[in-house]
Chains A and B, each alone.
Chain A
Amino acid sequence: MNVDGLRKKALEDLERAADRAALEGWRAKYLGRKSELATFLRGLSGLSMEERRTLGAKANTLRRELESRYRAAREDVSRAPRHEARFDITRPGKKFARGHLHPLTITLRRMIGIFSAMGFEVVEGPNIETEHYNFDALNIPPWHPARDLWDTFWLKTANPKSEIRPERIEGRNSRLLLRTHTSPVQIRYMETHRPPFRIIAPGSVFRHEATDARHEMEFYQVEGLMVGADVSLANFKAVMAHALKEFFGQKTELKLRASYFPFTEPSFEVLMSCAICGGRGVAKGKRCYVCSGEKWLEMGGAGMVHPQVFRNVGYDPETVQGFAFGIGAERFAMVKYKIDDIRLFRSGDLRFINQF
């Protein structure tokens, strides 16, 4: 075999192998099982000792060289195929038909995410509630003037067509209504669980009032409840301050203002330094349009759970204590995205939704 001739021819062929397929063809021809070189090397044993030493060594050297050149050629990117297409980078990209999540969904996820990270469990309750859970068990008896704080949608129960029959279960008021707050979930949860625990309960609530830019008859509330042996007001401040900072930014300040709810004692209003003007009351030289120059925004209500509420669910108020809060999702979204009309949330208007 003419080793030098074979080498020359192989190297010339390799130069011409322009792509992967040609390269594989070259490998089969010069290094494959049926190649001249392989055949020769297999037949070495039939040669004399002298020939084996000289020609054999030469052929083996050639095989190693061709193998190494083959590997190098495979890795040589200049053989990579080229796209000849030209692009106009100023042309708009192709539009993919993605839908949009509603801003309430986005807001609720962020709110829930913040509390979940602190170990709060997500719990839900019914939208149709009984008078017992919505009022009585929360220390708001029927005669209580505080009931006027919640304008209520009642459901028809006497109507034979509606088929709902009112019944008093163990002397409880079972008149049906649409829950005016998510606080009944507190009662339902505590009736079936023992402290310590921490929960959040997101859900729709209903108020019988005329709608305008600031009032809705249906909106989303996120209720929170943490109960244990020594869960304190100071703890509430830490949890709520953290949540507000996470949601609106680290510069956000929390302030509490005395308030009144029959199911908490003490009760307070949760205020936050205005996220728009940074709590200065002035933005761009004008009175801040979000807090109207008040510097503080009301974000929800809270308090330490009233002992009567604990007694109503069979807890001993001497040994457990805790905080509860209710914050509005629309309110959070409105401040976050500077939305000025609460009715947009339930307008179904894609000109609004598709901005999110």
Chain B
Amino acid sequence: MRILYSWLREFIAIKESPEELAELLSSSSFETVVAKRMGADAILEVGLLPNRVADASSHFGIAREIALIKGRKLRLAFRRPAAGSQHIAKQYTLSVSAHTLTRRYMLAAIAGVKVASSPPWLQKRLVACGLRSINNVVDATNYVMLELGQPLHAFDADKIAGRRIFVRPAKKGETIETIERKVYALSGRDVLIADAKGPLALAGVKGGRRAEISPSTKTILIESANFDPLATRETAKRHALKTDASWRFENDLDPNAAEAALYRVLELIKEVAGGAIMAGALDAYPKKVLPIPIVISVKRISRLIGEDIPAPRMVARIAPLCRSVKKIGRDALLLKVEPYRRDVKYFEDVAEEVARLVGYNSIRAIPPVAALLPARKNEAWMFRERLRDELAALGFSETYNYSFIADEHVVASGFGPGALIEVANPISGAYRYLRGMLLPNLLKNVRDNLRFFRDVRVFEIGKTFKTSSGKPAEAWRASGMIGRKGAAPQELFYEAKGVIEALAERFGLDRDDYGFHSGEGHEQDAVVRVGEEEVARIGMVPAHAAYHYDIEAPVAYFDIDTEALMRAVAEEHEFEPLHKYPDVIRDVSILVPAFTKVEEVENVIEGAGAKYLEDTDLFDVYDEGLPGDQISMAFHLIFRSPERTLTDEDVGRDMEKIAEALRRFGAQIR
């Protein structure tokens, strides 16, 4: 909202420069900057907060705020201007049937005006505040709105049929043509100003064309009203018509302010357009808004602020806001807060006023006093943080992606849209669904980074979203991808698998605790289970997905259910006694038919009945230089005894058993 520095000075003495004034308002009230300097004058841009629009969306309102902060006097006296003998009630009648939505409706009249352009001083102020100049009558209503914050509207009285004004709900099927020549179809929840023929204005929002002020207008009716905030907001929203008037009404203006504004605009119209003011005003104001009584405790306000503020000091600060302040107990004060301050309704609102006026920045910082109880640890959070460290240590860089995925990712990710949650108002098709898994966005990361790097390893730990029996379900996952130009797919697959194995080892899961099983999809996937529970998946990104993303390099992924992994880890990690005697390591290298699985060979070795075999560790597989139907595997065999250092003979006996079993399996020992 634009505020003219010179205009403010009509209401209050200001010693501060525009810059100093902006700083003062910013720190105590609302963020304010000097938008433009014009010699000694300046335009201030005031960022009003929603709760202060009611009382401060005008020059007088801002002046009143300055008076409050600085304890200065306000100059304002609007008296009812001199009027002729003809009384408005003899000429016009008012009928308000939209009771609940119209808190107050006032009409006054002037006869014999001369519609022309406004004087330059008035035009200049309107333009400086961002409004267009129309003609002297319309400009006067806008001027008073900027001055006092009360929206006003002028009708050409001679165009009103039947000399009777109705304030009523719109009927279904009714339309109104506004002064901008736009036609709106109305709903039963809109409020209209109407005559016997039909709509004249959309209440609180916009005037209609039929009774608008024209060069030939002689007699005018001026409306100063107060409409229900919610109804105004809904009407403005429904018709996408947010106006200076609707903005003020929807923020709950004080109905009492309508009267002063009506006097002021009559005076101004008479000054700039001439005419004779009719005596009296029509005023439908069934439920007068009174000052709000609030009982405050001086001690409690001090306690909330954290600083002792003596009662007299507190009273001096808040008295200008109140019609009366009465001491009603040792510590209690009864305030009657002026109704224009619509934001001061509760004890805490008063505390805010006190804190603000004392100055937030002069309140001393005091460390809180609390029981010395350490914060309870958030295990899930800490586990995820540890996962991040482990994955970074394994050479993966961390990304954060949006929680959204595009239409086409739904296809690429293999999820049907049925399981995904759809955004009702997406920014664009690229962000239509909530991600059901992290992989689609990670694949995008791989694609983008392969432009700059040959070898891309990325991971993300984030939330995924799906529907589960009619309800939204969120789950944390830790997923990663490896893309490397020129790499063999196997190389990347085994790296992804290595990630799972490395994590399992770091988290204390034994090879007996978990296993890799073929996925039900295609054979390039594996499921990692602990007991019956699936904790992760690894595999190759399917060719069609890579193609969709324009990636030529092979890409492997891992996708971990962090909560399942955490459960598995919590159950499994147990201390084992340190072994006392050194390991003996022997290697065995064998030739087996191609497509023999490492697991099969390991089962043979471990089932051979060797007494001291502790672990079997594959360290090499190759088929180069061998006949096509054979591959070579080499294992480290680790022997250990809890009782003594093993001798060559002990290990020799075991090795013989293993060799025998391997030969029976059909392996050729090299």
Q: Is the interface of A mostly helix, strand, loop or mixed?
A: mixed
Q: Which of A155, A162, A348 contacts B399 (CB 8 A)?
A: A348
Interface centre among A127, A265, A304 (most CB of B within 10 A): A265
Contact residue range for chain A?
Answer: 35 or more
Q: Which of A198-228 contact B (CB under 8 A)?
A: 198, 204, 206, 208, 210, 217-218, 226, 228
Contact with A along B53-75 (1 / 0, CB 8 A): 10000000000000000000000
Q: Which of A325-356 contact B (CB under 8 A)?
A: 345-351, 353-354
Q: Which residue of B lies closest to A196 (CB)?
A: B370
B458 and A230 contacting across the interface, CB-CB below 8 Å: no
B422 and A104 contacting across the interface, CB-CB below 8 Å: no
Question: A206 to B375, alpha carbons, bound, how many Å?
Answer: 28
Residues of A within 8 Å of B381, CB to CB, are: 122, 124
Q: Which residue of A lies closest to B355 (CB)?
A: A266
User: What's the least CB distance linking B467 to chain A, in Å?
Assistant: 4
Residues of B within 8 Å of A26, CB to CB, are: none
Q: Is A159 an interface position by the 8 A CB rule?
A: yes
Q: Is A98 an interface position by the 8 A CB rule?
A: yes
Q: Which of A116, A148, A269 contacts B375 (CB 8 A)?
A: A116
Question: A226 to B306, alpha carbons, bound, how many Å?
Answer: 14
A145 and B251 contacting across the interface, CB-CB below 8 Å: yes
Q: Which of B29, B360, B421, B458 contacts A256 (CB 8 A)?
A: B360
B251 and A162 contacting across the interface, CB-CB below 8 Å: no
Q: Is B356 an interface position by the 8 A CB rule?
A: yes
Contacts A122-B378, A238-B365, A307-B348: A102 and B427 contacting too (C-beta < 8 A)?
no
Contacts A128-B474, A226-B368: A265 and B346 contacting too (C-beta < 8 A)?
yes
Question: A145 to B356, alpha carbons, bound, how many Å?
Answer: 23
Interface centre among A124, A165, A258 (most CB of B within 10 A): A258
Interface residue stretch chosen among B82-90, B442-450, B587-595: B442-450
Question: A239 to B366, alpha carbons, bound, how many Å?
Answer: 8
Question: A198 to B371, alpha carbons, bound, how many Å?
Answer: 11
Residues of B within 8 Å of A242, CB to CB, are: 367
A260 and B366 contacting across the interface, CB-CB below 8 Å: no
A345 and B375 contacting across the interface, CB-CB below 8 Å: no
Q: Is B270 an interface position by the 8 A CB rule?
A: no
Contacts A121-B376, A143-B230: A164 and B470 contacting too (C-beta < 8 A)?
yes
Q: Which of B378, B421, B448 contacts A162 (CB 8 A)?
A: B421
Contacts A109-B385, A148-B50: A210 and B394 contacting too (C-beta < 8 A)?
no
Question: A178 to B392, alpha carbons, bound, how many Å?
Answer: 30
Q: Which of B27, B233, B375, B401 contacts A145 (CB 8 A)?
A: B233
User: What's the least CB distance linking B54 to chain A, in Å?
Assistant: 10
Q: Is A259 an interface position by the 8 A CB rule?
A: yes
Residues of A within 8 Å of B229, CB to CB, are: 143, 145
Q: Is A68 an interface position by the 8 A CB rule?
A: no
Question: A264 to B155, alpha carbons, bound, how many Å?
Answer: 43
Contacts A154-B425, A234-B305, A235-B306: A128 and B368 contacting too (C-beta < 8 A)?
no
Q: Is B349 an interface position by the 8 A CB rule?
A: yes
User: What's the least CB distance linking B401 to chain A, in Å?
Assistant: 6
A231 and B368 contacting across the interface, CB-CB below 8 Å: yes
User: What's the least CB distance linking A341 to chain B, in Å?
Assistant: 14
Question: A235 to B230, alpha carbons, bound, how many Å?
Answer: 37
A155 and B363 contacting across the interface, CB-CB below 8 Å: no
Q: Which of A121, A210, A257, A349 contacts B378 (CB 8 A)?
A: A121
A234 and B366 contacting across the interface, CB-CB below 8 Å: yes
A162 and B51 contacting across the interface, CB-CB below 8 Å: no
Residues of A within 8 Å of B470, CB to CB, are: 163-165
User: What's the least CB distance linking A248 to chain B, in Å?
Assistant: 16
Residues of B within 8 Å of A256, CB to CB, are: 360-361
A257 and B26 contacting across the interface, CB-CB below 8 Å: yes
Question: A160 to B600, alpha carbons, bound, how many Å?
Answer: 48
Q: Which residue of A lies closest to B356 (CB)?
A: A258
Residues of A within 8 Å of B361, CB to CB, are: 255-256
Question: A102 to B445, alpha carbons, bound, how many Å?
Answer: 14
B400 and A238 contacting across the interface, CB-CB below 8 Å: no
B422 and A156 contacting across the interface, CB-CB below 8 Å: yes
B392 and A98 contacting across the interface, CB-CB below 8 Å: yes
User: What's the least CB distance linking B320 to chain A, in Å?
Assistant: 17
B398 and A162 contacting across the interface, CB-CB below 8 Å: no
Q: Which of A99, A218, A237, A346 contacts B392 (CB 8 A)?
A: A99
Contacts A154-B423, A235-B306, A348-B401: A266 and B351 contacting too (C-beta < 8 A)?
yes
Question: A155 to B424, alpha carbons, bound, how many Å?
Answer: 5
A234 and B346 contacting across the interface, CB-CB below 8 Å: no
Contacts A154-B423, A154-B424: A234 and B393 contacting too (C-beta < 8 A)?
no
Contacts A128-B421, A268-B360: A232 and B459 contacting too (C-beta < 8 A)?
no
B398 and A353 contacting across the interface, CB-CB below 8 Å: yes
Contact with A along B566-608 (1 / 0, CB 8 A): 0000000000000000000000000000000000000000000
Q: Which of B248-274 contact A (CB under 8 A)?
A: 250-251
User: What's the least CB distance linking B443 to chain A, in Å?
Assistant: 10
Q: Which of B28, B348, B400, B472 contacts A102 (CB 8 A)?
A: B400
Question: A42 to B424, alpha carbons, bound, how many Å?
Answer: 99
B427 and A266 contacting across the interface, CB-CB below 8 Å: no
Q: Which of B351, B375, B404 contacts A304 (CB 8 A)?
A: B351
Residues of B within 8 Å of A315, CB to CB, are: none
B421 and A260 contacting across the interface, CB-CB below 8 Å: no
Residues of A within 8 Å of B453, CB to CB, are: 350
Residues of A within 8 Å of B28, CB to CB, are: 258
B363 and A233 contacting across the interface, CB-CB below 8 Å: yes
Can you report 19 residue pairs joining A to B where beta carbons are below 8 Å apart? A97-B457, A99-B459, A120-B375, A124-B378, A128-B474, A145-B53, A156-B421, A156-B424, A196-B371, A218-B403, A233-B305, A256-B360, A258-B29, A266-B356, A304-B351, A350-B397, A350-B452, A350-B458, A353-B399
| Interface residues in chain A, defined as those with a beta carbon under 8 Å from any beta carbon in chain B | 97-102, 104-105, 109, 116, 119-124, 126-128, 143-146, 148-149, 153-157, 159, 161-165, 176, 178, 196, 198, 204, 206, 208, 210, 217-218, 226, 228, 230-235, 237-239, 241-242, 254-260, 262, 265-269, 304, 306-308, 317, 321, 345-351, 353-354
Beyond known contacts A269-B31, A346-B402: 14 more, CB 8 A cutoff: A99-B392, A109-B385, A121-B375, A127-B465, A145-B251, A198-B375, A230-B303, A230-B306, A232-B304, A234-B366, A255-B360, A265-B352, A266-B348, A304-B348
Shortest beta-carbon contacts, A-B, top 8 = A234-B306, A232-B306, A266-B352, A260-B49, A348-B445, A256-B360, A237-B365, A97-B395
